[in-house]
Amino acid sequence: MSNAVEVQAILSSALVSLTIDTLFFGLFSGTCAASLWLLINKSAPHRPIVGRMGPAVLLSFMFVFALTYLVLDINIILHGFVYNAGNPTAIVQVVTPESRSDWGTTMTILYIQICLADAFMVYRLFTVWDRNHWAAITPALFWLGAVAVGATMIANIFHFEDDLTGGIRTVLFFTFSFITNGLCATLIMGRLIRNYSRNLTAKPRLPDSPWIPRTMVIIADIIIESAVVYFAASVGLLAYMIVGLPHASPKWIIGGMPSFIGISMSAIVLWELQVRDTEPESDTEIQKLRAQTA
């Protein structure tokens, strides 16, 4: 009986994983397309070309990785549930990570996606802190540590290792990543809160809206810019990997992570383009904006 329950749990996990991955990829496709369209077509004289092309290239790579991850998920479901219909044991053997030939590829995609996101967060920290190198140096060092550990993991991931060494590498990678985006999120949030508290009567960083209270816009700006949602996800992912070593299970917890990471990063880019790039640049524009929203 217990074996039947375990089989059912594994099969349900595989289906839930695909559902979550599909949902997140759909959301990522929308935010990514909107961000790329604005980056290419929207006029922003105060934003240099590098500042526009960098996010475009980053999101393009993230989209390709997320799409590949989804295709691999679909392929596993097809081989498991379609080609082995009526044989639960055979299905489990296909969808279980230990027996999947693409498990190394999917985890490699996840590692690369995390490294790209953490690098973008370090860059965002550098930008928010007025290009202060000292503010970004510590998170950057932890990011380099994650990249180094991740490289050794990718080199060994295609050969399943159940020993302690493999587990330590996994924990180190997600710990370094957690510290990197945790520091970035905290420092970005602190900087924005300090700026808003010190400039309540000065030139607004964000345009006013007749429909949304300015306080809500500021709160949304802090939450999105600091990517606290991504940081919260990294906390759960770290705990999940530690508990689930050497091979984390159930898989649905990480099923949509590549696309979720893409959503978090594209949301920052989209917010910057839609809100921050519309902030007034001169005192005349400020007076006009205040007159319109008065």
CA distances from 170 to 22, 95, 220, 234, 279 (A): 26, 21, 33, 13, 43
CA distance 261 to 116: 9
Q: Is the pTM of this model over 0.85?
A: no
Assigned CATH for 2-293: 1.20.1070
Residue 35 corresponds to which tokens in the numbers above?
Answer: 């961000």
DSSP output for the chain: -HHHHHHHHHHHHHHHHHHHHHHHHHHHHHHHHHHHHHHHHS--TTS-HHHHHHHHHHHHHHHHHHHHHHHHHHHHHIIIIITTTT-HHHHHHHHSGGG-TTHHHHHHHHHHHHHHHHHHHHHHHHHHTTS-HHHHHHHHHHHHHHHHHHHHHHHHHTS---SHHHHHHHHHHHHHHHHHHHHHHHHHHHHHHHHHHH-SSS--SS---SSS-HHHHHHHHHHHHHTHHHHHHHHHHHHHHHHHTTS-S-GGGGTTHHHHHHHHHHHHHHHHHHTGGGS--SHHHHHHHHHHH-
Q: Return the pLDDT at 291.
A: 47
Q: 117: closest CA among 293, 260, 289, 275? A: 260
Cα–Cα nearest to 69, from 118, 20, 34, 32: 20
The pLDDT value recorded for residue 64 is: 95
Q: Give the residue from 170, 109, 187, 184 showing the smallest Cα distance to 142.
A: 184
| Residue 8: partners with Cβ closer than 8 Å, 6 or more residues away | none
Tens of each residue's pLDDT in the chain, 294 residues: 356 656 666 677 777 778 888 999 999 999 999 999 888 886 555 566 666 788 889 999 999 999 999 998 888 777 766 666 666 666 666 666 554 556 677 888 888 999 999 999 999 999 889 888 898 999 999 999 999 988 887 777 655 554 444 567 778 888 999 999 999 999 999 998 888 887 654 445 565 666 777 778 788 888 888 888 898 888 888 777 777 654 545 565 677 889 999 999 999 998 888 775 555 444 444 444 444 444
In the block, which residue shows the tokens 């990249």? 147
Model pLDDT, residue 169: 79
Confidence at residue 33, expressed as pLDDT on a 0 to 100 scale: 93
